[in-house]
């Protein structure tokens, strides 16, 4: 497979990504943390290809990225008030909300009854997501290898395994998002991250 790298500022970058994604391919792009690689979330075979490209264990669920809060309804069976409140406070940003999974989401995205969802705080990522819709996205690296902060680092690991890399320059890198379970009566921190627990819990004590 030929892996093309195209600058994010190129006039047809997003259209090229759309064509590849709609044909079941994988696209890597910058986010507010590291580069991610993803597929259209409702295309089960394409999402399965993420596992293959990354040599990723199948039991690991893949997070979903969306462009706007309104897109939550497309990927969730219902959106708890806890999730809406946290989204209003911290999105776009490094917060993943675990919410009930929409019944139409392929099991390969998440074998559980829940799914992790986030809006990245990155203009190029959001432009792509607003164009193509929700995507199943994980870091654009081989499983167990360092997460990439540049398009060239993505190519070094996934070149020949994915169709397109959108080069948006170096990403901030750093800590993975805070993960919060929103399915109970109060938020539950599942993974510590950039947004501290005291800020998450402040409105629920």
Residue 204: predicted pLDDT: 82
- What the chain holds in terms of domains, given with CATH numbers, is 4-176 (3.90.870.10)
CA end-to-end span of the chain, whole Å?
A: 52
* Structure confidence at residue 54 (pLDDT): 97
**Collapsing DSSP states into helix, strand and coil, what is residue 164?**
strand
- State residue 205's pLDDT score: 72
Q: Please report the pLDDT score of residue 145 as a whole number.
A: 95
Closest of 184, 158, 151 to residue 10, by C-alpha: 151
Residue 155: per-residue pLDDT: 98
How high is the pLDDT of residue 175?
A: 79
pLDDT of 174 reads 73
Per-residue pLDDT of the chain (205 residues; tens, 9 = 90+): 899 999 999 999 999 999 999 999 999 999 999 999 999 999 999 999 999 999 998 888 999 999 999 999 999 999 999 999 999 999 999 999 999 999 999 999 999 999 999 999 999 999 999 999 999 999 999 999 999 999 999 999 999 999 999 999 999 877 789 999 999 999 999 999 999 999 999 978 7
Q: At what angle do helices 123-132 and 13-22 cross, to 10 degrees?
A: 50
The predicted structure's pLDDT at residue 173: 75
- Measured CA to CA, the distance from residue 54 to residue 87 in angstroms comes to 29
- Residue 16's pLDDT is 97
Question: Does residue 34 contact residue 140 with C-beta atoms inside 8 Å?
Answer: yes
């Amino acid at each position: 497979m030929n892996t093309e790298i195209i600058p994010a500022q190129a006039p047809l970058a997003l259209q090229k990504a759309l064509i590849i994604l709609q044909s079941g391919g994988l696209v890597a792009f910058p986010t507010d943390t590291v580069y991610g690689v993803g597929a259209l979330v409702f295309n089960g075979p394409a999402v399965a290809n993420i596992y293959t490209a990354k040599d990723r264990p199948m039991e690991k669920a893949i997070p979903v990225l969306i462009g706007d809060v309104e897109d939550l309804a497309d990927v969730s069976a219902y959106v708890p008030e806890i999730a809406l409140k946290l989204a209003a406070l911290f999105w776009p940003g490094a917060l993943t909300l675990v919410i009930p999974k929409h019944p139409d989401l392929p099991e390969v995205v998440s074998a559980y009854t829940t799914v992790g969802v986030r809006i990245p705080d990155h203009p190029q990522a959001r432009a792509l997501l607003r164009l193509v819709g929700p995507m199943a996205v994980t870091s654009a690296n081989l499983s167990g290898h360092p997460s990439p902060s540049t398009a060239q680092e993505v190519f070094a690991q996934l070149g020949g395994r994915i169709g397109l890399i959108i080069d948006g320059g170096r990403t901030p890198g750093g800590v993975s998002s805070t993960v919060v379970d929103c399915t109970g009566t109060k938020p539950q921190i599942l993974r510590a991250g950039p947004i501290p627990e005291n800020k998450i819990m402040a409105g629920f004590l």
